[in-house]
Amino acid sequence: MPRAFTLEQLLFSQGFGTRKRCRILVLNGAVTIAGAEVDDPEAAAPNTPGTVFTVEGETWHYHPVAYLMLNKPAGYECSQKPKSHPPVYDLLPVPLRERNKGSVQAVGRLDQDTTGLLLLSDDGKFIHRMTSPKHEVGKVYEVTTAEPVTSAQVARLLAGVVLGDDPDPVAASACMATSEYSLSLTLTSGKYHQVKRMLAAAGNHVKALHRSRIGQLSLPADLREGEWRWLSADDLKKLDQAA
């Protein structure tokens, strides 16, 4: 059995502020466990995954570690210190942004104008596993191009193109034209503006870029732009299969 937290500790672990603020929330009657109001900060609160509690009327589930997916819209930077656009973390509720002193971070980065599937977590080993080239986790990008896609361009992307900062060619692990002005591209490594630079090296240019899949995990059709959700056990299994 997992050891019990006090209610104050449970709230603190989930990002609801300092211990003092968490204590005040409980004392003010703003917290319920299993539907019952609890006003004792020292009351036992089991830290079992899925434990349901409410804070100021909003329902939450206890998660010892944060594993999230987000459908990233354009116009957001995957940085804690953005330069010219708001951070993607603004799309998360405050407790997720503040839990573990702000340690929830994007698993890899998408450019501000790139949309689609973005993972976030506060599990360093998970982040490393998903982003390290040696694990070869495929990321699938749907590319809208400025010029018609040719078979020669697809062949070059599969064979490998040289980017300016590295003499070694970088190749897509899969690539196919999906229409006259679009293609699907799979990468297992991540470099700065990599898709855009690869398309330019192959003789075309990116007009729009969307990440649709990481490993075996696809962006759910019902997750709208700007929305997030917890990764399910099945989602995590699909990612484990890829790594």
d(CA 29, CA 40): 9
Task: State the CATH number of the domain containing residue 40.
Answer: 3.10.290.10
Q: What is the number of domains present in the chain?
A: 3
CB-count burial class (<10 Å; 0-12, 13-18, 19+) for 158: middle
Q: Which domain holds residue 22?
A: 4-61
CB 25 within 8 A of CB 16: yes
| One domain, residues 191 and 172 | yes
Task: State the CATH number of the domain containing residue 124.
Answer: 3.30.70.580
pLDDT band at 56 (very low <50, low <70, confident <90, very high): very high
Catalytic residues: 111
| One domain, residues 146 and 197 | yes
- Residue that terminates a domain, selected from 42, 61, 80: 61
| One domain, residues 164 and 223 | no
| One domain, residues 51 and 166 | no
| One domain, residues 78 and 34 | no
Looking only at Cα atoms, what is the longest distance across the chain?
69
Determine the residue type at 183. L
| One domain, residues 121 and 72 | yes
- Strand 36-37 to strand 44-46: parallel, antiparallel, or no bridges (unpaired)? unpaired
DSSP letter at 145 equals: E
Instruction: List, for residues 16-32, the tens digit of each pLDDT value.
Output: 999 999 999 999 999 99
The answer, as to whether pTM is greater than 0.85, is: yes
Instruction: List, for residues 205-240, the tens digit of each pLDDT value.
Output: 999 999 999 999 999 999 999 999 999 999 999 998
183 by DSSP, 3-state: which?
Answer: strand
